[in-house]
Amino acid sequence: MLRREPDFISMLYERDFPHWFGTHANNEYGWQWMQILIDLRNSRFFFPSDWSNNGANVTGKYLSHSDALVLGEALIPRLAAFASSLSPAGTPVERSLELDGFAVNEEKLTLVPLEGPVSVQQEEDTFSRLVRSTGLPDHAVILKHMTEEANNSRTARGVTVPTKISDVQSRMQSCEIAVL
């Protein structure tokens, strides 16, 4: 049995990804999903380094660096939804998305929050009450470390992806079509 890579260009185009996206992912990246995701995140996907014209980009329209960052962040969750749609329910991509609080709307190829907005402060207060109720002798130290970590996390947090890049990459690479 011969195996070949699926026709991702057609699959992406059928799901309303721009044609330039599939063509560029194929021609310049050879479907190396991890590098595609990284370059979408930092905008290099849109501005190939070997292009001499500084304003040239793969979309064929003017695209500022900040617009490229926004577009890249918009494409990453769609790729996660696409990866999830390629596999049966219960796969690692779907489970990872669920753990991150998302489900996939396959019709719109979007990620949908599983629950409404969660109050971080409310969750931290609940956690603090639980830690205090354990009776641990050093609960004040535990709470201090948790507060410091939460503050550090908020300070360092930039734009986040609702799924682990490695899970999306793994699913994309493992999607093959058998050719008889």
**Tokens 């948790």 sit on residue:** 146
pLDDT greater at residue 29 or residue 54: 29
Q: What's the CA gap between 109 and 155, in Å, rounded?
A: 31
For residues 82 and 12, is the Cβ–Cβ distance under 8 A? yes
Q: Count Cβ atoms within 10 A of the Cβ of residue 94 and give its class: 0-12 exposed, 13-18 middle, 19 or more buried.
A: buried
Query: Closest Cα to residue 83, out of 17, 178, 173?
Result: 173
pLDDT at 4 over 80: no
Average confidence score pLDDT of the chain: 77
Q: For the chain, what percent of residues have pLDDT higher than 90?
A: 22
At residue 100, the pLDDT reads: 82
Q: Are 98 and 91 in contact (CB under 8 A)?
A: no
Handedness of CA 26, 103, 110, 74 (dihedral sign): negative
> Which comes out higher in pLDDT, residue 135 or 15?
15
Alpha-carbon distance of 121 to 116, in angstroms, equals 15
Quick: pLDDT tens for 35-81.
998 999 999 999 877 655 566 899 988 888 889 999 999 999 999 88
Q: Residue 167 pLDDT > 50, yes or no?
A: no
Residue 88: DSSP 8-state:
-
Pick the more confident residue, 1 or 89: 89
